Structure 1
Amino acid sequence: MAGAIAILVKTPGLSPVKTRLAADLGTDRAEAFFRLSVKAVQSVVAEFLEVRTDWRAYWYVVERKGLKDPLWQDFETRPCGRGELGLRMARIYHHLCAEHGRAVLLGADTPQLTSAMLHAVWFVMEARARPVIGPAEDGGFYLFGGRMEMPAPVWTETRYSVPETLADLTRRMGEAGVGAPFLLNPLSDVDTLRDLVWAVRQMPPDPTPEQQALIDWVRALK
C-alpha cells in the first residue's frame, strides 16, 4: 500500500543547525556534519523507495526561503508551516495520511538509519496496523510511523527536547485510544559530540556511500 516519508529539516545558513554539537566542534564542523547526515538519511530513504515504488518522500523545510536550496535534492520540498514542533508534526502527519494513507516522520540527524528499518516500519504498519516509533537514546524519538488518525493534542501537548518526550507521547497516545506503539531499536540522534561517536558505532556493516562519507569525516576529526 502507498505511503509517504516526511523528513523535517532546517536549511543551513537560514537557521542555526546542530547548536549543541557546535558547542563541542564549532559552527563550521557542526554544519558540515549536518550536511553529511542529510545526505546519509537521503540515501537510506532512496534505497527504501527503490523497493517500495508506491511510496513518496518529501523534505519538509522550516524556512520558505529554503525550499529551493540545492541541499534538498531528489525529493519534493514542502513547507513545514508555522507553529511549534508538535503542531507542525500534527499537520504533516494528518496531511500525509490523508494524501497517501500512511506516513513516516523523520529528522535528518540519525544518519545510522537503514533501509531495513524502514522496511520493518512498513511491515508492522501493514501486518499489525500499529503505530511504530524509533526511540532515541536521549528519551525522545527519531521516527514515527502510522496509518491511523492521531488527535492533534497528542502531538501538541507532548513535551519535546526533554528526557521524558517519548514517555509523554506514548502516554498521550494511550489516553487518546491510539494503542501501544511497536518500538524499533533505540538509536542515538546526534546533538552532541558523544552522540556523534555513538551514531558512528551504530552504523550498519554495509553503509551506503553517503554513510561511509560521514564515517570517514568523523574518523578524520582531530
Structure 2
Amino acid sequence: MKFAKGRIAVFAKQPLAGRVKTRLIPATGAIGAARIHRKLVVQTVATVSQSDLAPVTLWVAPNRWHPFTQRLQQYYSFELCVQHGLDLGERMASAFRVMLSDAPYALLIGTDCPSIDASYLQQAFDVLEQGADAVFGPAEDGGYVLVGLRRGASLPFSAVEWGSGRVMQQTRRLMRASGMEWKELKPLWDVDYWRDVRRMRRLD
C-alpha cells in the first residue's frame, strides 16, 4: 500500500427501499432506487479496495446488521463501522476523529460518484502528504465527492447546508476563516437524478 499510514473511509447507507436515492424514486420506484444505490456502493467499495492505496473503512447507517453489508465483507477487505451524528457534518466529523486518532491523514468519500478512481484517490493523498491541511473533490452540483484531512486540522463541517448547492462554497468560507491551507481536485459529478443514472450507464 502506497499510503499505508493513511485511511480511506467510505460513507454508505444500507440499501433500504424508500430510504436511499429518494430523488430517483419518481423515475425508478423505491425498489429500483435501492437497486441503483446498491450498485453504487459495490462499485465504490471495489474501487477503493482494489486501489490498494490505504486501509479501508466502510461507515454505514443506520446500523451494520444488514445481509448486504455482510455479503460485501466476504468479497472485500474493510473494517465496518457505524455512522454517529445528527447530520452529515457531525457524522463525518465523528469518523475523522476516529481515523485521525491513529493516522496522520485520511480521505472520506460517499458512494454517489462512479467516476472516482484510484488515480483520483492518489491525487488526494499526494496533496495531504505534501503538507496541506485538507483536500476536496468538488462536485458539479456544488457539493463535494471527496474530503481529506490531516491530523490536527480543524473540522470544516459546521454551519454548512448539507444537501444544498452551497456546500463547497460554504466550506471554502469556513476554511478561509480558520486559516487552513487546502487544495481542490478537478470537479466530478455524482448520481442524484435520473439524468445522472443515464450518464452512469454510459460508463458501463
Q: What does the per-residue CA deviation read over 1:124-156, in whole Å, with 9 as the maximum and x for residues that have no partner?
A: 11124342111111100010012143434x312
Asked if 2 retains the 8 angstrom alpha-carbon contact of 1:110 and 1:199, the reply is: no
CA distance in 2, matches of 1:102, 1:198: 32
- Offset of residue 66 of structure 1: 3.3
The equivalent residue for 1:218 is: none
The equivalent residue for 1:56 is: 55
Alignment of 1:138-157 (within 5 A): 138-152=141-155, 154-157=156-159
The equivalent residue for 1:70 is: 70
- Offset of residue 14 of structure 1: 7.7
Amino acid of the residue matched to residue 87 of structure 2? E
The equivalent residue for 1:192 is: 193
CA distance in 2, matches of 1:200, 1:119: 25
The equivalent residue for 1:109 is: 112
TM-score (structure 1 length as normaliser): 0.81
Which residue, 41, 44, 57 being the options, matches 1:41? 44
Q: Match of 2:70, SS?
A: coil
- Offset of residue 193 of structure 1: 0.8
Higher RCO (CA < 8 A, seq sep 6+) = 1
Amino acid of the residue matched to residue 195 of structure 1? D
The equivalent residue for 1:174 is: 176
The number of residues matched between the two structures is 197
CA distance in 1, matches of 2:113, 2:185: 13
Which residue, 68, 85, 94 being the options, matches 1:91? 94
Q: Is 1:11 the counterpart of 2:27 in the alignment?
A: no
Amino acid of the residue matched to residue 188 of structure 1? W
Q: Is 1:127 the counterpart of 2:130 in the alignment?
A: yes
- Offset of residue 90 of structure 1: 1.0
CA distance in 2, matches of 1:127, 1:16: 39
Cα 1:184–1:43, aligned 2, differ >3 Å: closer, same or farther? same
CA distance in 2, matches of 1:76, 1:67: 15
Q: Which runs of 5+ in 1 are unaligned?
A: 204-214, 216-222
CA distance in 2, matches of 1:161, 1:149: 27
The equivalent residue for 2:162 is: 160
Q: Which runs of 5+ in 2 are unaligned?
A: none
Q: CA RMSD in A?
A: 2.0
Q: What does the per-residue CA deviation read over 1:161-190, in whole Å, with 9 as the maximum and x for residues that have no partner?
A: 1111100011101101222x2211211111
Asked if 1 retains the 8 angstrom alpha-carbon contact of 2:134 and 2:153, the reply is: no
Percent identity, please: 28
